[in-house]
């Protein structure tokens, strides 16, 4: 089981539904939290991820709390999440402090445009998602971590931009860890 770099806990944060003056430690709370690192707001797969998590969260009140990270300003986050999930909590991370702390890397041509990505694009399009204007580095890979206190309980290792875990299995991963 990995631990989060504790220096990240005291980083100031701002964003959507984040109280003013918060640090990372403040928004984690006392229960497991799903940290979701988005590529950019125009990414069809990011839009799919947000929609899928919103649906699951509405269906299951015991689903872990979700905290998104995005490469944009608080204003850009308000515009995006205000339209797709107004109640979502999201951290603006233009300097990529958290992306770097959690090891979120940039992808190459295969991770962004390989055959598997195109196939996943069909899946996301079938759900009604489209590509929009990018906000942030479009070469950034996604990230997904289930954390509790300073521990990373589980993470999904993304193979490419369209790789999409079964979000319904997150609770199973959580029950296996506790």
pLDDT at residue 38, as a whole number: 95
Cβ atoms within 10 Å of 177's Cβ, excluding its own: 13
Instruction: Kindly indicate the confidence band of residue 29, based on its pLDDT and cuts at 50, 70 and 90.
Output: confident
pLDDT (average), residues 41-59: 92
H or E segment and range at residue 168: none
pLDDT at residue 43, as a whole number: 86
| CA 171, 106, 14, 102 torsion-angle sign | positive
Tokens 């899928």 label which residue? 52
pTM: 0.89
pLDDT (average), residues 17-38: 90
- Give the three-class secondary structure for 143: strand
The predicted-structure confidence for 129-164, as pLDDT tens digits, reads as follows: 777 777 788 989 999 999 988 888 889 988 878 888
Segment among 54-58, 84-88, 120-124, 136-140 with least mean pLDDT:
120-124
The side-by-side arrangement of strands in the sheet containing 89-92 is 2-3, 151-156, 143-148, 33-37, 65-70, 89-92, 15-16
Tokens 């069809």 label which residue? 44
């Amino acid at each position: 089981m990995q631990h989060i770099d504790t220096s990240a806990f005291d980083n100031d944060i701002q964003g959507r539904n984040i109280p003013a003056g918060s640090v990372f430690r403040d928004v984690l709370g006392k229960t497991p939290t799903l940290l979701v690192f988005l590529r950019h707001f125009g990414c069809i797969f990011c839009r799919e991820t947000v929609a899928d998590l919103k649906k699951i969260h509405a269906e299951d009140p015991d689903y872990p709390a979700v905290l998104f990270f995005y490469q944009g300003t608080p204003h850009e986050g308000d515009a995006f999440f205000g339209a797709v999930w107004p109640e979502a909590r999201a951290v603006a991370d233009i300097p990529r402090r958290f992306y770097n702390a959690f090891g979120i890397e940039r992808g190459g041509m295969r991770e962004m445009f390989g055959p598997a990505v195109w196939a996943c694009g069909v899946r996301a399009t079938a759900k009604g998602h489209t590509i929009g204007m990018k906000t942030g580095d479009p070469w950034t890979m996604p990230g997904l971590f289930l954390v509790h206190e300073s521990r990373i309980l589980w993470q999904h290792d993304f193979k490419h931009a369209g790789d999409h875990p079964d979000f319904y299995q997150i609770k199973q991963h959580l029950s296996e860890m506790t």
